[in-house]
Structure 1
Amino acid sequence: MSIKTFELISTTENNVELISYVALPENAADDHPVPGIMVAPEWWGVVDHPKDTAEKLAKAGYAAVVMDVYGEGKLTGDAAQANMWMEQVLADQDMLMSRCRLILNDFSDQLAVDGDNLGAIGFCFGGKVVLDMAREGMPLKAVASFHGNLAPKQPADNNFSAKVLVAHGADDSMVSMDAVADFKKEMDNAGADYTVDVYDNAKHGFTNPHADERAAKNDIDLGYNEKAANESWDKMMDFMKANLS
């Protein structure tokens, strides 16, 4: 399926431009809106991996937007820089969530997007972003996290309505199995509908083909696992199909 891509610029109330990246199926039009999927990238920003993800989603018939939560389209391959930017936005999580809500509203206002049928997927830091969007009660039907940070901005409560799919690597040294257990407790307490899949021999970042090179360059414990990446992607696509009609 042929697709079209463009930048979606959202301006915050203090005039920061959030430069998100949209991919749409060519046939998505005003009279034929399609379900939308928000994509929250890893801490590197709107780099190739999340853009490729959005394009894959568009080829599968979804509208997709990669959220620029840092603002000004900032991106990096340097872990120290990425960590600094991530810490900056995590220091003001209300601001982070208001940026996500702004992008969600601007994206769902696109005539080609069915605003009543929205999902979200996030990678690493982005996994936390999309789970927190659901915890904040944003109108997401389905949320998937890949090797995500599971720590909540505030715990989910009984207003939590999104279905959740979590793909976690068994060898992830950044998000512990204790964190996964805490997350399951949180979801159980909220009465949420969730699935956690743990992939063997998979490290943090296992879906990103650039993970090994990033690990070597930055001396951090990341690794790509093609089998886990493909299996978790297929599972996520089935999950979205089941929940976004």
Structure 2
Amino acid sequence: MSIKTFELISTTENGVELISYAALPEDASDEKPAAGILVAPEWWGVVDHPKSVVERLAEAGYAAVAMDVYGEGKLTTDAAMANMWMEQVLADQDMLMSRCRLILNDFSDQLSVDGDNLGAIGYCFGGKVVLDMAREGMPLKAVATFHGNPGAKQPADKNFAAKVLVAHGRDDSMVSMDAIEGLKSELDAADVDYTIDVYDNAKHGFTNPQADERAAKNEVDLGYNEAAAKQSWENMLEFMKANLA
């Protein structure tokens, strides 16, 4: 399917430009809007990996946007810089969520996006971002995380309306199986419908083809696993198809 891509620029109330990257199926229109999926990138920012994710989603028939939560389109391949930027936005999680809500609103206002049919996907740090969006009661029907951080801004409650799919690597040294068990308990307590898939021989970052290169450069425990990346992507597409009409 042919697609079109564009920058979606949202301006915060204090004048910061959030430069997100959007992709649409060529045939999406105001007469035939596409279901929308928001993508929260890993801590590197809107680099090639999340851009390719939104393009693949558009090829699968969805409108998609990689959210620039850092602002000004900042991106890096340096783990220390990425960690600093991540810590900065995590220090003000209300601001982080208001940025996500702003991008969600601007994205769903596009005529070719079906604002009543929204999902979200998060990678690593972005996994926390999209789970928190659902915890905040944003209008998402389905949330999927890949090697996501499950740490909560506040625990899920009755406002959490999304169904959840978690893709986790068994060898992830950054997000422990205990953390995943904690997420299960949280979601059970809020009566959330979820599925957790655990992939063998998969480390943190297993969906990102650049993971090994980033690991070597930064001495962090990341690794790409092609089989897990492929299977988790197919499972996510099935999950979105089931939940986004």
TM-score by length of 2: 1.00
Q: Which residue of 1 aligns with 2:108?
A: 108
Query: What is the CA RMSD across the aligned residues, in angstroms?
Result: 0.4
Give the distance between the partners of 2:130 and 2:202, measured in 1 at CA.
21
Q: Which residue of 2 aligns with 1:199?
A: 199
Give the distance between the partners of 1:180 and 1:61, measured in 2 at CA.
31
Give the distance between the partners of 1:72 and 1:159, measured in 2 at CA.
31
Q: Which residue of 2 aligns with 1:231?
A: 231
Cα offsets for 1:138-171 (capped at 9, x unmatched) = 0000000000000100000122110000000000
SS in 2 for 1:155: coil
Give the distance between the partners of 1:21 and 1:41, measured in 2 at CA.
11
Q: Which residue of 1 aligns with 2:138?
A: 138
Would you say how many aligned residue pairs link Structure 1 and Structure 2? 245
Identity among equivalent pairs (%): 81
Matched, 1:95 2:95: yes
Give the distance between the partners of 1:212 and 1:183, measured in 2 at CA.
27
Give the distance between the partners of 1:188 and 1:116, measured in 2 at CA.
26
Q: Which amino acid aligns with 2:105?
A: N
Give the distance between the partners of 2:2 and 2:67, measured in 1 at CA.
22
Task: Structure 1: give runs of 5+ residues left out of the alignment.
Answer: none
Q: Which amino acid aligns with 1:186?
A: E
Q: Which residue of 1 aligns with 2:35?
A: 35
Give the distance between the partners of 1:227 and 1:33, measured in 2 at CA.
33
Which residues of 2 match residues 1-245 of structure 1 at below 5 A?
1-245=1-245
Q: Which amino acid aligns with 2:165?
A: L
SS in 1 for 2:18: strand
1:213: Cα distance to partner?
A: 0.2
Give the distance between the partners of 2:20 and 2:159, measured in 1 at CA.
28
Give the distance between the partners of 1:131 and 1:175, measured in 2 at CA.
15
Cα offsets for 1:174-199 (capped at 9, x unmatched) = 00111011000000000000011110
SS in 1 for 2:203: coil
Give the distance between the partners of 2:167 and 2:108, measured in 1 at CA.
26
Q: Which amino acid aligns with 2:5?
A: T
1:29: Cα distance to partner?
A: 0.8
Cα offsets for 1:33-69 (capped at 9, x unmatched) = 0100000000000000000000000001000000000
SS in 2 for 1:44: coil
